[in-house]
Amino acid sequence: MNKSEQSATTAGVSAPAKNTPTKSTFSLWKVMLPVAIGLGVVVLMFWHDAREENFGSIWSNIHFTPWVIFCIFLGFVCMGLRDLGLTWRFRALTDRKLSWKSAWTADMMCEFTNCITPSAVGGSSLGPVFLNAEGVELGRATTLMLTTLFMDELFFVISCPIVVLLTPDNFIFASGASDFSHGIKYTFWTVYTLITAWTFLLFLGIIWKPAWIQKTLNKIATWRVLRRWSSAITGLGENMIATSKELRSKPFRFWLEVFCGTALAWTARYFVVNALFLGFLPSTDHAQWVILARQFVIWVVLMVSPTPGGAGLSEWLFSNYYGDLVGTAGMALIMAVFWRVITYYLYLIIGVIVTPGWLRKYYEKIKSTSSK
């Protein structure tokens, strides 16, 4: 779940946020760690399942026909639509002042940072810096990232109950009465409850009662046990006040457009798995809704992952959660690898390519601003 960091109300890059990115922020080991974790878990799962299955026969049944290749390509198209949704959202939030290229760059940097930080922590705390580097005033950039955080959480709060109500309990939480099924169910509802509470606090803080929330946060910041984070806590209150002032003047069309961009981004991401099932297991056509519904559960559970980008946990969760629909653990694991390549490793590669140029541009901007 994305977290907002310390206040940065001064305009421009002459006063960068406390968590200004450096080369060490995106160091090679931070990129390789989630790769090593993910591949390590996959290898261990292959080794474990190889004792029960003949992987040679599983691979022999996989034929990369034009249809399978098309469905894999369709998975990449879904992620392209996901990026379109978030890029569109950045454009809408800045009243079209941010170009498509700049909005896409900010989106890629946020996604790359999410890939190399634990899911439970979130990587978009650097979002204001990314937007600032693309020309958005730092204080307003922090406001915009708070808004994106609120819209993401609101999407989950609204969509998850609808999906659960439309899907039989034994289908969405995996069939059977196993410990895994019960664990998925309880984890999902626990995390969903926390998301709902957090979304309500965001609603109070940036729309309804910002002054009340700021006063409460200022009191919390005085607690001795939280003294280390007092500046971040008070900064969050200040950011909520600034966000509230801007959002209260926005028309309904603004909210509709931002929410539509959010819904497009998340739904397109979920449909990647549907595309893979269509390619590898076309016989599961009748279960397409269940496949989609389980994606809502997976991404909620992954919000509390302690590993960078959910590495390791994602592969394990996918293989076990979709195992009853796939039929064999080996095939489920192979599909999990393709899923992660499309939705995760692709962004690690893009990030490695984009980040060096972005850092050069960012520090050149700081240098030129400081010399004035």
Q: Residue 97: CB partners within 8 Å, gap ≥ 6? A: 135, 136
User: Which two structure tokens, joined as six digits, stand for 261?
Assistant: 């961009």
Any idea what DSSP says for residue 60?
H
Mean pLDDT, range 274-295, rounded to an integer = 89
**pLDDT per position as a tens digit, 147-199:** 999 999 999 999 999 999 999 888 898 765 578 888 899 999 999 999 999 99
Looking at every residue in the chain, the average pLDDT score rounds to 83
* Token pair for 77: 């198209």
Residue 90: pLDDT band with limits 50, 70, 90: very high
Contact, 10 vs 138, CB < 8 A?
A: yes
Q: What is the reported pLDDT for 6?
A: 35
CA–CA gap between residue 134 and residue 137 (Å, rounded): 9
Q: Report the pLDDT value the prediction gives residue 104, as an integer from 0 to 100.
A: 94
Asked whether the predicted pLDDT for residue 362 surpasses 90, the reply is no
| Of the listed ranges 254-258, 295-299, 308-312, the one predicted with least confidence | 308-312
Mean pLDDT of the 102-112 span: 91
d(CA 211, CA 203): 12
- Per-residue tokens: 320: 């076990």
How much is the pLDDT for 175?
A: 62
- Find the range with the poorest average confidence among 100-114, 116-130, 210-224: 116-130
pTM of the model: 0.84
The 3-class secondary structure across 74-101, one letter per residue, is HHHHHHHHHHHHHHHHHHHHCCCCCCHH
Q: What number is the average pLDDT over the span 337-362? A: 88
Burial of 285 (C-beta count, 10 Å sphere; 0-12/13-18/19+): exposed
- Is pLDDT above 70 for 77? yes
- Look at residues 1, 4, 2 and name the one whose alpha carbon lies nearest to residue 217: 4
Q: Which is higher by pLDDT, 284 or 186?
A: 186
pLDDT computed for residue 49 by the predictor: 57
pLDDT band for 2, please (50, 70, 90 cuts).
Answer: very low
